[in-house]
A and B are shown apart, each in its own frame.
Chain A
Amino acid sequence: MDQEERKQYLEDYEKAKKKGIPFFPDAVFKDAVVALVVFLVIVGLATFVGASLEEIADPSDESFTPRPEWYFLFLFQLFKFFPGSLEVVGVFVIPMVALVFLILLPWTDRSPRRHWSGRPVVTSITLFLLAGALILTVQALLEEPPPAAASAGGDQVAQLYSTNCSGCHGSAVAVASRDELLEAIRGETHEGMLAWNPELTADEIEALVGFVLSPTGHVLFESNCADCHDLDSLVASDAIELRRAIDEGPDYPPHENVGVPVWNEALNSVDQGKILAFLTAADGQRLWTQECASCHGQSVAVSGGRAALEDVIRTGGAHLDLDAFQAAPGPDDIETLALYVSDPPAAPDGAALFGRVCAACHATRVPHAADYEPARRLIAQGGAHEITRPWGDFLSDEQIDALVDHALRAIELPDLTEAARLYSQNCAACHGEQGEGGVNPTRSGDIIAPISTEEYLATRDDATLRAIISQGQPNFGMSPFADTFGGPLSSEQVDLLVAFMRAWEDDPPVDLPPEVPSGPVQAADPASVYLALCSQCHGDSGEGGLGVAFDDAWQQSRTDREIFDDINLGHAATSMIAWGEVLPSQQIQDLVSYLRTLTGEAGTSAALTYDATIRPIFDAYCSSCHGTLGGWTGTSYEEALTTGIAGPTIIPGDPDNSRLVQSLIGTHPDGVVMPPSVEMSAADIQKILDWVEAGAPER
């Protein structure tokens, strides 16, 4: 607009005003009418729809699906189109461009034209932005609630996806690559997203990766395999076995007599690939543990760099020249070695022998064999284990890349003495010197479970451990330890701690975690307290196990006072925690008296009686419901043998036809399995069985 046009506009405007109306009352009347309508609509909505109030905020409940107010939905939806490193485009660039367009509008649109039809560019950009926002909003609204089919069909992984991901990502996510996705879920790279891994197991993360990357594979899995197979077990299984199961179809031994089709005819190779892609994530650590660790331990010496390593993995074959073992050591030595690799504590001489015979190639990395016999055969036959499979035939390029990455990372063996110092300085106070756990100092009555069991370490990968250490677990009272989260440790130190914990995995210091119910122990009766807590380590009759046996020697060596202190204060560096934090001192006193009655002999099954053995089991597992709900009651000998909904529940001498036994072992025709919510130990079930068999004696 030049000088002339501006003057012209002002003149025209003056004319329009002359022909116009007074602001009051004409325009004000219209405004008042609209205001009234708006007010009535708002009051109507407030009255009939109202403003909802959900449960109080719970920072530990990450399953909550965050939803912004409707007028932010278009932005929310926009972000979903820009995963990973593109995120900044959706979150920042596009909104900023739109905002700058708005602010600069008077200066970019400089023509004197005012009617919309005379300004096609501005009009179409505006319509485009409006339509875009509208479409995005509608799209976001339609994607809620998360896939209903998922919750209905019992499809675990879809369920997992809908609780964890679909709140933000809708029904599908666009991702650049498998690796990036894996890292994003673990919370390492994705800025706008929460770190999920402390909440999810490695299996679940991989299932999600498969679900996102191979939706077709997921559908195929659901229609072909899910009737029989649990996803968790398949995800964790071996890439070679999966391939074999598909190639062999009905000839694959576990599939014999199941009536599966010949997969090579039923599914084309593309679909087969999709199922495999769904089931096996390119997770180097996981692949290493599954496919390599049994021979190579935690890492392997590599000469020749990345290309050489990748070549060895791809082509397999005899990649190392090994001597035949048959000739070198004698038969005793082979047995010692086999014992050493399958059960290290059982072969005290093994370490020296291993150092002499095997360390030249294996260095300090002791391979781990699950069983003695195969290990012995392998060592005796020599050379057999030098053959590596041609992994190029089984794994995708991405998987091999991931495997090579992991193998190269694993070589850099960290200095574990420094790691041990860090651990005892930072972690041992709560987790114990051996990771055995103990009383949680931040939450009374709560016990920290062991972190050094095989199960714990196998279900958490390095990234998960790193995230837990770095970020802490505020809901369990663990503060963050990484300096990036305000803790004392650098990221190198956190890595050292992870390596330190990982080193437990070969030989977990804690085999059998005591399963301690959280919260104060309710049962007052010392026999049930003993059965619920102590027997896990000390045996049901005090015969010992992980803990000491309460045999004659022990009974004579300890005074009551000492036993009380043992229980009350516990022993540092063992699973024997300070029970005084959990049990009131009267209960400990009762326990001491109860321990005095034990003989430390497991053979009490010969004299199983209701009073001594069976009643404590009933009390611990059954009486909380059966004492009050009617039907069968086990709280007295009389009642245990006579009560029951349809006649006596126990037939002395005939366990097979006793309803009690049927419900315990799951053979009852109604399909009832007792107890319904906890698992009774096999030993306890056996005792009840033996007791009924023996005629159910009272004392």
Chain B
Amino acid sequence: MASRLSEWFDERTGWRGSWTAVFLRKIPKVNWAYTLGSATLFVLVLQFVTGILLTLYYVPEPQQAYASVDYVTNELPFGWLIRGIHHWGASAMVLLAVLHMVRVIAYGAYKYPREVTWITGVALLLLTFAFGFTGYLLPWDQRAYWATVVGTEIGAVPPLVGDFTKDLMLGGDEISGLTLSRFFGAHVWVLPSLTVLLVAIHLYLVVRNGISAPPKRNE
């Protein structure tokens, strides 16, 4: 029965071909350092899941933002856990992504034929930092507010584009409800869309080009 069902699906989707290409492929013998990329992906998925749960309660409006985060943290059953995971997940993600990048540099894995994979990886690291920066303001507490004041002031420093960058982030002369809306929009819609796109390309290239082999000393 099960085999007939899978046969039925395969005929219509070709899933066995994909399964073989993705999971049953051979890869060179690798060490534990090669798990860092998949660990980063795992945390990313964890962030998506907990992030979506948090959006169910979060209200991106200054007074209510704080109240809703307060509610999630202190009253909602297991809300503290969801928010805690999201909070620490962010740190874990930065840490794992950086370690992953160090591994790639140490093994020269950015070289032919994986240059494009490398570029998407660098972009993903920047997105990770952008997630951290935009997410920091959302609880609308003192630390969030003042760190963002400093952050946006810093954004205004670069010549030519500085003022525009600051305007773009703040939506006015100072941090307001509009700023919160923009950070929320970026954190929940813009950055995740870009991330999904880049992760898809990154993974496609990893499967297509194969995972790099750990180089020997003379390589």
Within 8 A of B (CB), among A43-92: 43, 45-47, 49-51, 53-59, 61, 64-72, 76, 79, 87-88, 91-92
Interface residues on B, range: 35 or more
A681 at the interface (CB under 8 A from B): no
The answer to whether B140 touches A57 (Cβ under 8 A) is: yes
Contact B110–A57 (Cβ < 8 Å): no
Contact B91 A69 (CB under 8 A): yes
Residues of chain B lying within 8 A (CB to CB) of residue A16: 28-29, 213
Q: Is B105 an interface residue (CB 8 A)?
A: yes
* Cβ of A614 under 8 Å from chain B: no
Chain A residues with CB below 8 A from B154, complex form: 79, 91, 192
* Alpha-carbon distance between A67 and B136 when the two chains are bound, in angstroms: 11
Contact of B26 among A10, A21, A53 (CB under 8 A): A21
Stretch at the interface among B6-14, B66-74, B195-203: B66-74
Q: Within 8 Å of chain A (Cβ to Cβ): is B83?
A: yes
Q: Please state if B26 and A17 are interface contacts (CB–CB under 8 Å).
A: yes
- In the complex, whether B24 has a CB less than 8 A from a CB of chain A is yes
A116 touches B141 (CB 8 A): no
The residues of B that contact A191 with a CB separation of less than 8 Å are 153, 156-157, 162
Closest chain A CB from B112 CB (angstroms): 5
One of A29-37, A232-240, A429-437, A492-500 contacting the partner: A29-37
Counting chain A residues whose Cβ lies within 8 A of the other chain, the interface size class is 35 or more
- Over the window 146-169 of chain B, the binary record of Cβ atoms lying under 8 Å from chain A Cβ atoms (1 yes, 0 no) is 110111011011110010000000
Complex interface bits, B25-53 against A, C-beta within 8 A gives 1, otherwise 0: 11111101011101100110010000000
Is the contact region of chain A dominated by helix, strand, or loop, or is it mixed? helix
Whether the pair A1, B111 counts as a contact (CB closer than 8 A) is yes
Q: Are B42 and A486 in contact (CB under 8 A)?
A: no
Question: Which of B29, B115, B145 lies in contact with A106, CB distance below 8 A?
Answer: B115
Shortest Cβ distance from A28 into B: residue? B23
Q: Are A92 and B142 in contact (CB under 8 A)?
A: no
B70 touches A486 (CB 8 A): no
**Residues in chain A near residue B29, CB distance under 8 A:** 16, 19-21
Bound-state CA distance A59–B35 (Å) is 44
In the bound complex, residues from chain A placing their C-beta under 8 Å from that of B147 are: 66-69
Decide: B69 and A71 in contact? CB cutoff 8 A.
no
| In the complex with contacts A191-B156, A192-B150, A116-B145 CB distance below 8 A | no
Indicate if the CB atoms of B88 and A88 lie closer than 8 Å.
no
Q: Which residues of B contact A76 (CB under 8 A)?
A: 150
Q: What is the minimal beta-carbon distance from B105 to any residue of chain A, in angstroms?
A: 5
Contacts of B109 in A (CB 8 A): 114
Report yes or no: B105 in contact with A105, Cβ–Cβ below 8 A. yes
A residues in contact with B149, CB < 8 Å: 66, 194
Neighbouring B residues of A31 by C-beta, 8 Å:
35, 38-39, 42
Q: Which residues of A contact B213 (CB under 8 A)?
A: 12-13, 16-17, 20
- Tell me which residues from 213 to 230 in chain A have a Cβ below 8 Å from any Cβ of chain B: none
Cβ–Cβ contact B158 & A91, under 8 A: yes
With an 8 A cutoff between CB atoms, is A41 at the interface?
yes
Residue of B nearest to A27 (CB): B27
Q: Are A88 and B158 in contact (CB under 8 A)?
A: yes
Q: Does any Cβ of A come within 8 Å of B94's Cβ?
A: yes
| Interfacial chain A residues near B107, Cβ < 8 Å | 114-116
Which residue of chain A has its CB nearest to the CB of B84?
A: A46
Contacts of B25 in A (CB 8 A): 22-23
**Which of B80, B94, B111, B210 has most A Cβ within 10 Å?**
B111
A10 (CB) vs chain B CBs: closest residue: B113
Most buried by A among B42, B88, B129: B88
Residue of A with least CB distance to B107: A114
Task: Collect the chain A residues with CB atoms within 8 Å of residue B211's CB.
Answer: 27
Contact in complex: B102, A117 (CB < 8 Å): no
Q: B110–A34 contact, CB under 8 A?
A: no
Contacts of A30 in B (CB 8 A): 32, 34-35
| B210: chain A residues within 8 A (beta carbon) | 13, 17
Q: Is A119 an interface residue (CB 8 A)?
A: yes
Q: Which residue of A lies closest to B217 (CB)?
A: A115
Cβ of A141 to closest chain B Cβ, rounded Å: 14
Cross-interface CB contact of B157 among A38, A72, A91, A119, cutoff 8 Å: A91
Contacting residue for A69 out of B35, B89, B136, B212, CB 8 A: B136
Please, which residues of chain B bring their CB within 8 A of the CB of A38?
39, 42-43, 92, 96
Query: Which among B102, B119, B215 has the highest number of chain A CB atoms within 10 Å?
Result: B215
Are the CB atoms of B102 and A126 closer together than 8 Å?
yes
Q: Please tell me if the beta carbons of A51 and B32 are within 8 angstroms of each other in the complex.
A: no
Closest residue of chain B to A190, judged by CB?
B153
CB of B38 within 8 A of CB of A34, answer yes
Give complex CA distance A124, B70 in Å: 46
Q: Tell me, rounded to whole Å, the shortest Cβ–Cβ distance linking A545 to chain B.
A: 43
B136 touches A118 (CB 8 A): no
Q: Is B85 an interface residue (CB 8 A)?
A: yes
Chain A window 513-555, contacts with chain B (Cβ cutoff 8 Å), 1 for yes, 0 for no: 0000000000000000000000000000000000000000000
**Min C-beta distance of A659 to chain B, whole Å:** 45
Of the residues A107, A109, A115, contact of B215 by C-beta under 8 Å? A115
Q: Which of B126, B136, B173 has the most CB of A within 10 A?
A: B173
| Cβ of A9 under 8 Å from chain B | yes
CA distance A30 to B96 in the complex (A): 16
Complex contact A23–B23 (CB within 8 A): yes
**Interchain CB contact under 8 A, B46 and A103:** no
At the interface, yes or no: A352 with Cβ under 8 Å from chain B? no
Answer whether residue B178 sits at the interface, using C-beta atoms and an 8 A cutoff. Answer: no
Q: A42-B46, A113-B108 are in contact. List 10 more A-B contacts (CB 8 A).
A: A1-B111, A17-B26, A30-B32, A34-B36, A38-B92, A49-B88, A51-B88, A106-B115, A116-B108, A126-B106
A-B pairs, top 7 by smallest CB distance, nearest first, are: A46-B84, A57-B145, A114-B108, A51-B87, A66-B146, A114-B215, A24-B23
28 residue pairs A–B, Cβ–Cβ below 8 Å? A17-B27, A20-B27, A22-B26, A23-B25, A30-B32, A34-B38, A35-B39, A38-B92, A39-B46, A46-B80, A53-B70, A54-B143, A56-B66, A57-B62, A57-B141, A59-B145, A61-B142, A69-B147, A91-B157, A106-B112, A109-B110, A114-B215, A114-B219, A116-B106, A123-B106, A126-B106, A191-B153, A191-B157
